[in-house]
Structure formats: C-alpha cells, structure tokens
Amino acid sequence: MASQSQKKTPRAGFAALIGRPNVGKSTLLNVLTGEKIAIVSPKPQTTRNRILGVVTRPEGQVAFIDTPGIHQAKGELNRYMVEAALSAAEEVDLVLFLIEPPQGETLDVTPGNRAILERLQKVGKPTFLVINKIDSIPKSKLLPLIALYGQEFPFAEVVPISAREKDGVEHLFQVVLGHLPEGEPLFAEDMLTDQQERVLVAEYIREQVLRHCRQEIPYSTAVLVDVFDESEREPRPGTPPGQLGGLIRIAASIYVERDSQKAILIGKQGQMLKLIGTDARKSVQRLLGAHVYLDLRVRVEARWSERTAGLRKLGYE
C-alpha cells in the first residue's frame, strides 16, 4: 500500500513592497488581501506610513508591508516617508521592487529607480522585480525591459503582473511564499492588518480629500479622529444579516497649513467639505459594518509638514 505523501511544512515571513510613487503598491496590497487596507489615489505620495497586510493560507502566511513611494525627499514629511520605506526593506525576509513600464518609446532604467536599486544593493535582501501595469504596454516590450533591469541588479525572481486586472497576482503570492523560511504563522489566522479602525477611518477621509481637492491641498492635509464613539454600535435585535446595524459617532479634524487652504477645503457654503464627508461616510460604513455619523472640522496647523513637532502631533512618528 503506498504511503500518503507527507504534509508540506508551512512557510511564513515578511515581504516589503518598495518602489516609486504611483507604481501600484497599495492597489497590489488590497488585491492580495482581498480588502481595502490602503487608500488608493492617482496622486503621488498617497501612502504616508507603512501598512501591514497579512495573507494566510493553508500553505503559509505572508505579511506584506506597503510603503510610501520613494521620491526626492524635500521637507520633514517627505524625509519621514522615504525613511519609512527604506527602513522596511531592512526588516523583512524579501523585497518586492515594483516598477511600471515606461510610457514612451524608449526603454530605460529611470534615475529614481536606479537610486532605489543602489540602496537595495546595500540592504542585501533577496529582491523580486515586480513589473506592474503590464496591461499598459505591448508584450513585445516586456522581455527587453526585463533584460534591461536584469543588468542593474541580481533579482531573485521577475514577476510581471497587473494588480488592477488581478493578472499574475496569485502567481506572485505563490512565488513569494516559496522564498520564505519554513515556519508557523507569525500572526493569528484571522488577522488582516495591524491598522486600528480609527486609523483606517482617518485614511478613508484623507482619500476623499485627495479625490476632490485640487493639487495644492492634498499634500498639506492630515486627518486625526478626535471622537470614535461605539456605545451604540451593536445592531438592534431583528436586524437582517448583511444589513448595516447600530451607529458609530465619529468626529475628525482635517488639518491644513494655511487659512487659504482651509477656505478651499470647506468650499462655498461648505459644499466641498460636505462632499468629502458624504463620500467618506460611505466608505467608513462599509469598513465598520454600521451606520456612521461623521462630523468633519477643518483646522489650521501652520507648516506642520515641515516641523518634527508638527509630524508628531499629527501621528507621523
């Protein structure tokens, strides 16, 4: 009688998503986890902190760390964001270096990406080249692009994907898992992220500021949740399954750096702030599974993004 094959030892570890702004790191994290953990915007520097997303399967567990886009760091906030990204690369088992295909006819390694690769050389961790947005270029350009980057860095793997189209993402997960050490899960099976609900709420509000406000406003904006009242959160008896039940009262402050920015954010007769609040409340209700009363205020904290004390006050430390 043939013996049953032995069960494979599960694998577990950390993988950091590293790359320039807007290459799709947050979109990839959300697709991998199946939940909206990181906010997404077409504007650069949307992600400001490291965000943990845990994917647990019978064959193992991967803790992905989404990081801010690495860019030229001018000002305290930008330096904080770049350092958060680069330090993550030093603390993980594996680095996923995300790039997007060049939009012009010329294939090249951009100065920004070359600078990141130089830092990753010093870190010395196994690194994948993950080419995102492959749906945006002809397939004939893919192999030359892979060859070009292969001359710059000894990548452990090259994985082309389209996070938006969910193309190649499952393959990426399996390849990542195969490179992690054998071991038991690092987090509880039902853990998805280490982000607290009130932190996610603040990010959902900031996402709507990014969506609705013109260029100069989003980068001078931070959001703090002042009140998170769950005393009425439990749904009433008889609430049908799948329907929102209960009520959570939230008050949050949107901080900007100048009075002129405050005026723009509030809008004529408060219309801009009302629009931001309405759309944010819809996202927050889906997150919390309850009705939400959302009260938004706009406050001025002069030059907060340029001062260490300002960063600390608004949660960037």
Q: Which helix (H) or strand (E) holds 211?
A: helix 197-212
User: Looking at the predicted structure, is the pLDDT value of residue 147 above 50?
Assistant: yes
Task: Look up the pTM and report it.
Answer: 0.89
- What rounded mean pLDDT belongs to the chain? 90
Provide the pLDDT for residue 114: 93
User: Looking at the predicted structure, is the pLDDT value of residue 105 above 90?
Assistant: no
Mean pLDDT of 83-111: 89
Binning pLDDT at 50, 70 and 90, where does residue 184 land?
very high
Q: What is the dihedral of CA 82, 83, 84, 90, to 10 degrees?
A: 120
Strand, helix or coil for residue 24: coil
Among 8, 28, 10, which residue's Cα sits nearest to residue 18?
Answer: 28
Provide the pLDDT for residue 73: 60
Contact 19, 69 (CB under 8 A): yes
Mean pLDDT of 252-272: 94
> Rounded to an integer, what distance in angstroms lies between the CA atom of residue 225 and that of residue 255?
11
Please indicate whether residue 101 or residue 243 has the higher confidence score (pLDDT).
Answer: 101
Please indicate whether residue 172 or residue 216 has the higher confidence score (pLDDT).
Answer: 172
User: Looking at the predicted structure, is the pLDDT value of residue 181 above 50?
Assistant: yes
> Rounded to an integer, what distance in angstroms lies between the CA atom of residue 52 and that of residue 134?
25
Provide the pLDDT for residue 1: 41
Contact 39, 46 (CB under 8 A): yes
Mean pLDDT of 275-292: 94
**Which residues touch 91 (CB under 8 Å, ≥6 apart)?**
14, 16
Provide the pLDDT for residue 49: 85
Mean pLDDT of 109-123: 91
Percent of the chain having pLDDT more than 90?
Answer: 67
Binning pLDDT at 50, 70 and 90, where does residue 3 land?
very low
Contact 93, 180 (CB under 8 A): yes
User: Looking at the predicted structure, is the pLDDT value of residue 75 above 60?
Assistant: yes
User: Looking at the predicted structure, is the pLDDT value of residue 81 above 90?
Assistant: no
pLDDT in tens, 196-234: 999 999 999 999 999 998 776 777 899 999 999 999 988
Angle 305-306-312 (CA atoms, 0-180°, nearest 5)?
60
Mean pLDDT of 122-132: 96
> Rounded to an integer, what distance in angstroms lies between the CA atom of residue 209 and that of residue 217?
8
pLDDT in tens, 12-33: 999 999 999 889 999 999 999 9
Residue the block writes with tokens 């305290």: 76
Provide the pLDDT for residue 6: 57
